[in-house]
Every structure is written in C-alpha cells, then in structure tokens.
Structure 1
Amino acid sequence: MNAADYLVMFGVLVAIAAYGMWRTRGQHDLKTYVKGGETHWLTIGLSVMATQASAVTFLSTPGQGYESGLGFVQNYFGAPLALIVISLVFLPIFRRLNVYTAYEYLGQRFDAKTRLLGAALFLVQRGIGAGITIYAPAIVLSTVMGWRLDLTILCSGVLVVAYTVTGGTPAVNLTQKYQIGVIFAGMVAAFFVLLAKLPAGLTLHEALTVAGGFHKLDAVDYSLDPDRRYTIWTGVLGGMFLALSYFGTDQSQVQRYLAGSSLRESRLGLMFNALFKIPMQFFILLLGALVFVFYQFERPPVFFNQTAWHQQAAGASGAKLRALEADFNAAHAEKQQHLHDWVAAERAGDERRADAAQAAALAAHQRTEAARAETKAALRAADPKTPTTDADYVFITFIVDHLPHGLIGLLVAVFFAATFSSKSGELNALGSTTVVDFYRHLHQLRGASRSDAHYLAAGKWATAFWGVAAIVFAMSVTLAENLIQFANIVASIFYGVVLGLFLVAFFLKWVRGTAVFWGALAAQVLVFVLFATLGISYLWYNVIGCVACMLFAVILQLFLPRDRAAAAA
C-alpha cells in the first residue's frame, strides 16, 4: 500500500465514524439508545444486512469460492423462508409487547430464569462472535500488510467502540447505511477489475466455462450424505433453522428491525434481506470462483499465507518447501498450456480436443493440489502452530498484488467497514441485553428503581465492556477453520436451543417456564456432546438443538403436575 491507499482507507473509515458520532450526540434516554428512532425500511434492511455481513463475509467467502466453488451458497437457501416466518410470527409479537430485547418476551411468557437463560446463551455466543468479527480481518491484513496484529486489532476495535458507545442504536443504524455502501462499491469495483485482469481475449463466458470445468460452479448438491457439509437439504432445512435463530432471536438483529417506525417498515426491511441475501452471497462466491480462474492463467503462490511460508522457508524446512514450490510451479505451467489448448478448442468448436485438453488440465491441477497439500503438511511439521488453512488469504493476496493503488485502499477500507458495521451491531446488542435483561431486570426483581439516565449510562459502560472483551478475545484466539465457517459453527452450536425456547413460547402455550428452562439446558448439553463426537454438518445442530429443546420441554411438562409447574413458573 502507498500513500494514496492509506489516504483512501483512513479517509473513508474516520469520516463515517465521526459523522455517526456527530449526528447522534446528546442522547439522554434509554429507549432511543437501545431501540433507535423512527427508522425507514431501507435503513433497516441495510442495517440488518450490514450486521450480518461482517468482514468475515467479504474477506473469507471469496476464498471459500476459490477453494470449493459456489456450493457454500446452499448455506443460505433457507434464509428467505425464515425471514418470511419472522415477519409473520415473531415481529408482530415483539412489536405488540413493545419489548426492548427479544428475551423480555421470554420473561413475560415464562419466567425470570428462562429470560435470563435465553439472554445468557445470546451473550456467550455473540460475545465469541464479536471477537471473531474483529479478529477476522486483523489476522489476515496484519499478515499480508506486515502490520502488527495487536495494533491492528486495537485501532479498529477502539474506533468502533467509541461511536457505538456514544450513539447507541441510532449511530449503528446511521453508520451501517454508509458502510454497506462502501462495501458494495468496493466489491463491484473489484469484480470489474478482475474481469479486466483476465487474459487478453478471454471472455466472461469462457472464464465461466473454465470455472465450471473445475467444478467451481456446482452450486447445488442433492446428496443425502449427512456428513457432507453443504447440500440443498442442509441449506434449506438447517439453513432455515439457523436463519430463524439468527434473525428471529439474536438481539443484534432483532434490535435492528425493532427500530422501524411501524410494523410495515420493519417487515419491508426484512423482505429486503429475503430478496438480496442469496444474490449477495452468490456474487461474492462467484468473485472467488473468478479469482480461481485468474490464478489458473497467472501463477499463484504455492501457499497464500506468504508470510508464514517465508518464515519456514528460511529455516530448516527451507529445502523441502522450495522443492515443493518447484513441483507446484512445474505442474502449474503444464496446466496453463492445457488451459490455452482447451480455450482454443472451445473457440474452434472441437469438442473432442476440448475434452482431452480439459482432462489434461484437471490432471495437472491435481498435481498442483497435491503439492499444496504436501506444503501444508511440511509447514505443520515444521511448526504445529502455523495456520495451514490459507483460503482467507486468497482474496487479499489478489487485491494487494494485482489491483491499482487507491482501489487497494478502498478494498482494505471495505474489510474494516464490514468489521465496523457488524461489530457495532453486536456490541450495541450485547450492551443492551446486559442492561435490560440483567442489570435493570435484577433491580426490578428486588424492587429497586433507578433513573433512566442511570440505565443509559450503564448501557454505555456495558457496551464498552463487551468491546474490550472482544478486543482481548481477538488478541488471544487462534482459529484453524476458514473464518466464515468458524463463525457459522459457533452460531449453530447455540442458536438451535435459543430458537427452541421461542418456538415453545409461541406455539406450545401449555408448557411452563420450569419445563422449558430445564429442557433448554438439557438440549444445549446434548448439542455439545454431539458436536464433540459426531462428524455431521454443523448446520444440522440448529435443527437438533431446536427440536431437542421443544421435545425435552414437552416431556418434562408432562411429568410436572400442572399446578406445581404453574407455581414454579
């Protein structure tokens, strides 16, 4: 990065944060701080999208598309169905009861302990998620750019904590609207530059033909194998449960659409996401698939985390790593020749020659992948602490090596803007839930009463606390998974049980608080045990946790005498 890149990056980020702090200065009541003002549906839609689409989405998902193609999009097939259900069932109930948080409803429907359980599960899961949100871009950008990891985390973390604490929900909604605009502008610009960087004469259709020949465009998998991570079945069923849990019970999302000026505005904001969520994810994955095509004609590094590779190459494993790199480069050069033959045959309409060239290119590709796998094994043998998953480094490597200056700064600003937008929504929700569902609620249970200004100050302190906790977590964590997958894994472990609490509340009116409380705890333990012992797709844990919570609650209620259960509830 040069001076122009840094000027663009800091100019964009500081301007948005400063504007949000200035526009939302002088707030004095808890309701506005937590719920926001009368928000338009488009602002709600963009805010919901920005909170969900973190830097993990825009940094890691292209790498997922590079490695595995479009199949990851199946993860979102159930989201539109879930958003329709939330608009019809969840949203009217939340608005009718005029709650600040989703967990207030659990307290009204069941009892205090069930409300606290739902809120606690949210705080644990989203607290971890906030750490991942800030860690994701920091670890990759610090590695590629040569920045210090701790300073990268601190600088980005402190800035987003500052305007989130100052302005609350209005600041989050306002800044997210501009941050998502920067994100879309940057990703679209990257897409067109990528097309321009493809080999001279290679059309988009030919690029997609190459991607399809390497099975990068296989978006739908109808396999019934439960061990396969992404299939249409896990996406529609497991993805729907994940989306129901996330958009319907996660306060970081609920808080966004409860800010709507009316039920209609809130519903339109959710329908905006129902329409555009899958196309957005598809576009980002397609971008990754095209980066894959680009690197078939332009030699990529044998391992995209070049900092880690060079560190080990300078040590005792250097000779082995350089030999593997030579094998990779030789196989890649052979693959390039076959690719040119393949494209030429396609243009000439010679199907037999095209099929032969494609088969030869695929064989050479297998040798490059074998060299990459051996390189990862060698890196792991040299230092077990070396991260050997490099998908998260694919897109940023392409940006730094092949994009013009100025646009590099804009794309780096995109990653930080996505971090800010998602993290601000998470911290805002964590602070609100801590104050409303724990601090103020426990005061009310003891008969104590404090002023609105007191709880507003407590909300700001709680938000700051969770911000510091997220920064500390980000500085100490080491992730082995691809970041976008890890974030979804953490969510899937907790979300199903929380969704089960709400579905019991909505539809099983005869089940009381004590039964659902212990049923939810049993279901969460079951999910932990199954996750530790089974190898099934993590999306199924959303279904398992939800169904187990509802089933255990019903069984327990049947064994609790009705009058005793009602008294206990």
Structure 2
Amino acid sequence: MHWINWLVVVAYLAWVVGDGIRRSRGATNLEGYFLAGRSLPWWAVGLSVMATQLSAITLIGTTGQGATDGLRFVQFYFGLPIAMVILGVTIVPFLMNARVYTAYEYLERRFNPATRSLTSFLFLLSRGMSCGTIIAAPAVVFTAVLGIPLWMSIGLIGIPTVLYTVIGGVGAVTWADVKQMFVIVAAVAAMLVVIVVQLPLPLDDALRLAGATGRLTTFDFSFNLTNTYTFWSGIIGGTFLMLSYFGADQSQVQRYLAAKSVDEARSSLLMSAYWKIQLQAMILLLGVGIFLFYVFKPMPLLFNPVQDRAARAAAPGAFAALDARYAAVTDERRQAADSRDAAAFAAADRAVNAVRTEALATAQDALGQPTRDVNYIIPRFVIDYLPVGLAGLFLAAILAAAMSSIAAELNSLATATTVDFYQRWVNPAATDPQSLRVGKLSTMFWGLFACIVATQAATLGSLIEVVNRFGSFFYGSILGVFLLAMIPRARGVGAFVGLLAGMSVVAAVAFGAPQVSFLWHNVIGAGTVVVVGLVLSLRPAR
C-alpha cells in the first residue's frame, strides 16, 4: 500500500487517540469515567449512538451484503423509528429519573437482585461476543492488506484499543464517535463518486442492470418466518430488536444516561431514528456500486487473497478449470451490460455467481476451512482500485470506527461488571478508586474475551449478520424483563423465571428450527418472558 495512505491512517489515528486521552483527564471519579458527569449534549450523544452502529462492521459487512444481495437488508431497520419513539416515552424517562449507572440497576429496584444479576450477566455474554465481531471486521482488512494471519491482525487492533479504553472514559469515547461519523460519511460519499465517475454507462442504465439482478429490490411484503429481510420481519422483529438494543443494552443505554436531561436523551434517539435508514441505504448502495464496478473491471474469483493463494496451491487443476469458465461467464456478463440487455445480463450474472459458489466450495474442500468471502469484497476493492489518499481515508475510517465502537462496548461491559457485580455482591462499600481499578481490570478481561471470539467470527459469513445473530439470541428475552417492569402487577419471581423461560425457548428455536430467521428470535423471547412472567405473577402467594 502507498506510503501516503499509511500517512493518512497514522495521522487520523493520532488525532483521535490524542484527543481522547486529552478529554479523559476529567474522568477521575466513577460518574465522570462511566457517564461523563451526565453532561453530554444531545447531538453528541445522538452521533455517538449512530457511530456505534456505523462501525467497521457496517463498512465491511453491509457493503459486502449490498454487493452480493442488494438493498433488501435495509428492511432490517424499518422498525428503528418505531422503537425510538416508544423508548422516548417509556424506558428513557424511567432510567434517566432513576439516576442509575446501568439499566439493570433499575430491575433490582423493581423486582429483585436475582433478576438484575441474571439480566446483566446475559448482557455481558451477548455484548462480549458482539464486541469480538466488531474486532473481526477491521482484522479482515488488515489480513487482506498486509497478508498476515488473522490472529495477528486481531491483536494489532484489540490490544491498543483495550489500552486506550482503560485510559479514557465514556466522554472520550463519545467525542471520538463524533469525529468518526463525519469521516465515515465523507469516505462513503467519496467512494460513491469515484465509482459513478468510472462507470462506462450512464448511471440510470447501470442501475437498471442492477435492478435486473434484484439488487435494487427494497421491499418484500411476503410473510415468511424463514426469510430475514422482509418488510414484516423488519417492522415486527426489527422493532423488538431495536427496543431491546436501545432500551436494554448497556452499550446504548449508557450513552443517553450520559445526556444532560430526559429531553436531551430523547432527542439523541430521535436523531438516530431520522437518519439511520438513509445512512444504511447509502452504504448498501456503495455495495451495489462495487458490484456494478466489477462488471466492467476484472473481478476476483475469490476475494480473500490469502485463501485464494492457498486454495490454488492446494488444487491447481480444479482452479485452472474454474478460471477458464469464470473468464467466459464474466465476459458474457460484460457484453450483456454493454448491450443494455437486462434479461441477458441477469442470466449471465447468475452464471457468474454459480461459478463463484463452486469456487468457494472447492476452496473449502481443499483447505478444510470456511471460505465465505463476503467480508473481503470492499477491502479488495479499496486495495486494487481506490486512488492514493482515498484508500488511506477509507482505512482510517475503518480503524477509527472499529476502535471507537470497541472502546464503547468495552466501557459498557466494564460498567456492568463493576456496578452490577463488584459493587453489588463483592464490595458494596467500595470507594471510587477501588471501583475504577476494577473497571479497568474488567476492560482488560473483556478485551481478551472479545479477541478470542473475533478469531471465529470472521469465518461465519457477513459480519453485519453475525453481530445481529449474536444479539438476537439474547435481546428479546432481556427486553421482555423490561416490558414486565412497566406492568404494575408483574412480580420478581415472574420476571426471573420468565427470563429463564425466554432464553430456553429461543435456544430451542435457534437450534431446533434453524430455518426460522434470527429476527423473529427477538419476538419469541420477549413474548415468552412476558407471558410466563405474568402467569407466575398472577398466581396467589402461598
């Protein structure tokens, strides 16, 4: 990679880390470290909330999703505005007025210590795994750029981020997120311009070709529990997922708990409700643009360069035959695109996908490891085709997004560990210095845990799907407990047993009926917790 690109990366990281350390100097007590003294303005909190989602996973996984599957993924977010409005009038004022550090403290006041601890434990487990996926995203880029092993890339990203998080607090993380948002949007917009300028067809003709392959299909009104990306799964399952994520996940709750007031916390969520879908659509369009770009440029048979080299060395004859067929079908697709024949283009694209699928299967058999390479599509494009400087900007955006998101996740994990377990069960009389020391040690532990998860997450397919699969396994049941908390007749025993029942039912569906889309796990978990919790709460005491 050109030295100018590395200069851009180093300069940006130095700016973000330096400013984060400067802002961390005021975080000398527990409230300052974990909640920034409850003093952050709504717009900074709002940008930080969006930045957590517009992470390296979004830039890598979502663009890859757009390139291979099109815009259907945007339906995943259709429930977001609904969820934000509901949270603004329910959970946000509850938690803000309770003056808590974690969302789970409120559950002890409403129910009992057991419910608080179990819910917090499930958060720690789910968010720890999701944090590993966030680390895996930029590790994929480094593996492709530098040709080093995945575990080494994970260490290069995870170790400095853990150290930075230990030094800083949530205030430093939030202001880093604000910078990150502007850099990401600028990088994505610049890349879209580069792609459009280099397309040999007028934009409307190019989009018509993309539409012929189904990549511009945005709405699917079919009702099918096995299909993740439909209007109904987004509106129903997505609403439950977003309610749980923003209302019961400490990594997000901690953001608006740091706001100045209830109104400012509400405004920060409404900001995300208004802008998130448009931003997500723009990133998916970047993926569609990369697909169109590769119609007219040489397209790799396998996007992961490390696995590509290894697979060719292991099965040279098979890949020689595949290369010949691939050259023929990609040339056929190019000719159909030049002639603007949408039907022929769609048929040729299916042929291209068939050869790529066969190549991935051949590589998997030869190497004995998963070879889904959707997460390598945009890194390969950036390395091979982006101009000097812009490639550096994109890599800086990925690194900054990853470090900021990882720091936020680790900070929330440390907060829950310290407040919900250390202060509650180990040392209720802990001083601020003692609690801060435990918080920093917790950050290191969860950083190590996330790095271990990251080594596996990178091989599980689209990272944007992986992180939401992890979350959906837990989120619905956690949300169900908070829904019970707002029902006056609900009791502690109902909430605790309901939570166990919700997790059990979700596990049974996830492993016993894997064809059911993970988005519906949120509805199933929340519904089970509420029903079981209310039934047990209404039983007369003996």
Q: 1:414 aligns with which of 397, 404, 407?
A: 397
CA distance in 1, matches of 2:178, 2:224: 41
Find the aligned partners of 1:479 and 1:242 in 2 and give their Cα distance: 24
- Counterpart amino acid of residue 367 in structure 2: D
**Equivalent position of 1:517 in the other structure:** 496
Deviation of 1:62 (Å): 0.7
Is this contact kept in 1: 2:105–2:116, CA < 8 A? yes
Q: Which stretch shifts more, 112-121 or 22-31?
A: 22-31
Give the equivalent residue in structure 1 for 2:303: 304
Instruction: Identify the match of residue 472 of structure 1 among 452, 458, 482.
Output: 452
Give ranges in structure 2 of 5+ residues lacking alignment. Answer: none
Structure 1 residue 144: Cα displacement: 4.0
Structure 1 residue 149 displacement after superposition: 2.7
Amino acid at match of 1:21: I
Amino acid at match of 1:329: A
The runs of 5 or more residues in structure 1 that have no matched partner are 343-356, 565-569
Query: Is the contact between residue 79 and residue 239 of structure 2 (CA under 8 Å) also seen in structure 1?
Result: yes
For 1:321, the equivalent position in structure 2 comes to 319
1:40 pairs with 2:41: yes
Which has the larger displacement, 327-336 or 272-281?
327-336
- What is the CA–CA distance in structure 2 between the aligned matches of 1:27 and 1:362, rounded to whole Å? 57
Look up the match of 1:552: 532
Match of 2:330 among 312, 332, 335: 332
Written as runs of structure 1 = structure 2, the 5 A alignment for 1:235-246 is: 235-246=234-245
Query: Residue 437 of structure 2 corresponds to which residue in structure 1?
Result: 457
Q: Which amino acid is 1:453 matched to?
A: P
Rounded Cα–Cα distance in structure 1 between residues aligned with 2:309 and 2:429: 61
1:398 aligned residue (381, 384, 389): 381
Aligned to 1:125: 126
8 Å CA contact 2:375–2:461 kept in 1: the answer is: no
> Is the 8 Å Cα contact of residues 391 and 482 (structure 1) preserved in structure 2?
yes
1:20 matched residue in structure 2: 20
Deviation at 1:328, TM superposition (A): 1.1
Q: Secondary structure at the match of 1:25?
A: helix
**How far apart, CA to CA, are the structure 2 residues paired with 1:181 and 1:148?**
31
Greater CA radius of gyration, 1 or 2? 1
Q: Distance between the aligned counterparts of 2:143 and 2:458, measured in 1?
A: 14
Instruction: Output the CA distance in 2 between the equivalents of 1:365 and 1:28.
Output: 58
How many residues align? The count is: 540
For 1:208 and 1:383, the matched residues in 2 are separated by: 37
Cα distance in 2 for residues equivalent to 1:400 and 1:88: 46
Q: Give the conservation status (yes or no) of the 8 Å contact 2:102–2:250.
A: yes
Q: 1:468 to 1:5 in 2, by over 3 A?
A: same
Q: Which amino acid aligns with 2:361?
A: A
CA contact (8 A) 2:71 2:218 kept: yes
What is the distance in 1 between the residues matched to 2:145 and 2:509?
37
Per-residue CA distance 1:490-538 (angstroms, 9 max, x = gap): 11110000000000001x2112111210111011011111101111111
Q: Does structure 2 conserve the Cα–Cα contact (< 8 Å) formed by 1:18 and 1:163? A: no
Equivalent pair of 1:299/1:329 in contact (CA under 8 Å): no
Return the letter of the residue paired with 1:406. G
- Encode CA deviations 1:421-462: one digit per residue, 9 max, x unaligned: 211110010000000111001146xxx512222212222221
The corresponding residue for 1:286 is 285
The 8 Å contact of residues 111 and 491 in structure 2, kept in 1 or not, is answered as yes
Q: TM-score when scaled to structure 2? A: 0.97
Residue number in structure 1 paired with 2:366:
382
Paired position in structure 2 for 1:442: 425
Q: Is the CA contact 1:247–1:253 (under 8 Å) kept in the aligned structure 2?
A: yes
Superposition RMSD on alpha carbons, in Å? 1.5
Q: Does the 8 Å contact 2:72/2:217 carry over to 1?
A: yes
Q: Which segment drifts farther, 371-380 or 41-50?
A: 371-380
Q: Which residue of structure 2 lines up, in the alignment, with residue 532 of structure 1?
A: 511
Deviation at 1:557, TM superposition (A): 2.3
Q: What pairs up with 1:321-360 in 2 under 5 angstroms?
A: 321-342=319-340, 357-360=341-344
Partner-residue secondary structure (3-state), 2:214: coil
Does 2:464 correspond to 1:484? yes
| Residues 115 and 35 of structure 1: CA distance in aligned 2, closer, same or farther (over 3 Å) | same
Distance 1:364 1:188 in 2: 29
